[in-house]
Amino acid sequence: MRDIATSRLVADFLFGFGALFAIINPYGLAFIFLDKTRGLSEDERASLALRVAGYAFAVLLVSLFLGSQILNFFGVTIPALRIAGGLVVAATGWSMLHAPSGPAGPHEVSSPDHATMKRMAFFPLTIPLTTGPGTIATAIAIGD
């Protein structure tokens, strides 16, 4: 009986990790993070990345454990969330697939300092960049 519980726990972890890893896409996100933190030193960038990772972890934990209660409060069902989350992920992928290859406008030359980037760590670096609606919907669906 203990082996069955252990194998179920490992299977659930691997399923959740694989689903969230694919949605968050840390390899693709690294290039965006490097672009946003262009003017920072390596130490400042590392501390900012740690802060963003902590915020993302907290958002995912809240979504995982309290997400279905929050949805019930607002009257949203889990099947509706799964459909909406899938549509958000599909729409985001479609827009990335058809994005123009060059810069759309004049590229911003000024680079923000570390204090400004610390204020931007939760929004926009954590939400919606790291843990967007598709990630939150996936975490809620996994937690249900």
Per-residue confidence in pLDDT tens, the chain, 144 aa: 788 888 999 999 999 999 999 999 999 999 989 988 988 999 999 999 999 999 999 999 999 999 989 999 999 888 888 788 778 778 877 887 887 876 555 555 566 788 888 998 998 889 888 998 888 888 998 988
Distance set, CA 104 to CA 100, 107, 110, 120, 143 (Å): 7, 8, 17, 23, 39
- Is residue 144 classed as helix, strand or coil in its secondary structure? coil
